[in-house]
Structure 1
Amino acid sequence: MSYLNNVVGYRKDLLTNRSVVKKDNYVLLDPDGLVKNVIPGFENCDVTVLASPKIGASFVDYLVTIHADGKNERGFGEEGIETLLYLIEGSLEVKAGEQSYSLTQGGFVYCPPGTKLYFQNKSGKVTKAFLYKRRYDRLEGYEPYVVTGNANEMEWIKYEGMEDVLIKDFLPKELAFDCNFHILSFKPGASHGYIETHLPEHGAYFLSGQGMYNLDNDWVPVQKGDYIFMSAYSLQACYAVGRDEEFSYVYSKDCNRDVSI
């Protein structure tokens, strides 16, 4: 039952859900079950916190439904915190500090720490966005900066040389950035080349298709609208299932820094 699919109140069938929560390891969130969180500054918006330090993440991911004239004039972000907004559907007017941008589906804005993100939905239609925030890991001699673009205008790159697995990077590969964001897409039947085991964490929102995901050697079905969190060193890989639609997701990755001890 969820506000996202407008299934609330009495249910005739058994209460079931595909979600799996293994704190400090991995999480799968089925949208049927997500609830709204009241977050100061978000007006006429439905906000769900997807991942947070309470499940073991070093970041916070949000799913935000922005209704007509929905907005955040308070500003998202604070000193020491970097943020990103990716537009899943619709259009949105966004400000990063003093600079304004008009985003359409696939558009994104990254704000460095200390630069607040503001937005307003002037389209008259419902808009959906994926939001991210994380404490920036500062590196002496380097300063991150505002980055904006649209994933639909970016070129696909072969993922580790595979023709049927493609990726897009949102941020420049520079040491000023301690994270990056990607869209990874699999044609039906395609898969990772191996089960990955690595330091970076991921938060991933599924944009299209269906797949089977290996999460710490548990194979779980996932599809458009699902969300997964993968902690450091949690085993991970997937393959795409279905007939026609590509299996794709937008996700974050921490990078470009040594490990603190």
Structure 2
Amino acid sequence: MTNSYYVPTGGLPGQTELTTDRAMFTEAYAVLPRGTMRDIVTSLLPFWEKTRLWVIARPLSGFSETFSQYIVEVAPGGGSDRPELDTSAEGVLFLVGGELELTLDDQKHALRAGSYVFLPPQSNWTLHNASEANATFHWIRKAYQKVEGIEAPDAFVTHEDDVPGGEMPGTNGAWTTQRFADPTDIRHDMHVNIVNFEPGGAIPFPETHVMEHGLYVLEGKAVYLLNKDWIEVQEGDFMWLRAFCPQACYAGGPGRFRYLLYKDVNRHATLSRQLV
């Protein structure tokens, strides 16, 4: 099956268009519709050439505690030889448009839409666009939580076509998850997966759990339960869910509903310590 991914293009709405949209920010969740990703809200990064990005999640009081997420657009001839400046950061790159050249530990990789890269802390990598068209990728970053006696996971490069979807029990294939990291590998403290729903597929109960989520809709549309609210979402929308925010969904069709999902995993809850 051919995969497609929504890629923001920026621009600016006309002065005659309505301002009202589905954007919302609450203490439990946030929705950034694709229409919010315009030219005037892009950012730049140190040591990146011909590159702009939309910051759609960042650690901030009341919004995200464990991760940041960017949608990065690299123009022809752009890229970076010093992409990550935080030595504690791990990352995932997921390409949604165009082509990029990744050098990882002196090995070159040609990335295309659907390519997935895991980067442990202190990875040696560069990224460049040698093509004649823009390239766009998601960059999810997290401060790696070290555990004494457990090594950090290894870097790897793959493609979603090479990662089969695991069927959720009792769904007859209507709900599958493509897991890029082994879920039993305790070295990983975050998972970034792709979740797939066929038309009419559903999460049939309000999931309520400790994992924080970032969800970027790659394809299709659905009605999504966020805390107490049912929200219509479509390809290009981003959702942030705090820990324990109830969630469920119905895939609306006519095609598949798919999203890139971040969650933090496999670590003790951090406990506050009072001074005595």
Superposed CA offset, 1:211-238 (max 9, x none): 0110112110100001111110011111
- Of 143, 147, 157, 2:156 maps to 147
1:31 paired residue number = 34
User: Mean Cα displacement is larger for which, 183-192 or 35-44?
Assistant: 35-44
> Number of residue pairs matched?
257
Q: Distance in 2 between matches of 1:103 and 1:6?
A: 23
Do 1:75 and 1:116's aligned partners in 2 also have CA atoms closer than 8 Å? no
Decide which moves more: 73-82 or 122-131: 73-82
Structure 2: distance between partners of 1:195 and 1:117? 40
Report the TM-score when normalising by structure 2: 0.88
Q: Which residue of 1 aligns with 2:59?
A: 53
Contact kept in structure 1, 2:198 and 2:253, CA below 8 Å: no
SS at match of 2:130: coil
Matched, 1:249 2:259: yes
Q: CA RMSD in A?
A: 1.7
State how far apart, in whole Å, the 2-side matches of 1:187 and 1:151 are: 17
- State the match for 1:14 in structure 2: 18
Conserved 8 A contact 1:77-1:83: no
Select which of 142, 152, 161 maps to 1:134: 142
Consecutive unaligned residues of structure 1, counting only runs of 5 or more, are none
From the two aligned structures, give the one with the greater strand fraction: 1
1:76 touches 1:118 (CA, 8 Å); kept in 2?
Answer: no
- The amino acid of 2:167's aligned partner reads K
Tell me the percent identity: 28
Aligned AA (1:20): M
* Equivalent-residue separation in structure 2 for 1:198 and 1:66 (angstroms): 36
TM-score calculated relative to the size of structure 1:
0.93
Structure-2 change in CA distance of 1:56 and 1:180 (3 Å): closer
Compare 234-243 and 98-107 and name the one that shifted more.
98-107
Amino acid at match of 1:22: T
Query: Which whole-Å CA distance do the structure 1 matches of 2:13 and 2:235 have between them?
Result: 24
Q: Which residue of 1 aligns with 2:165?
A: 156
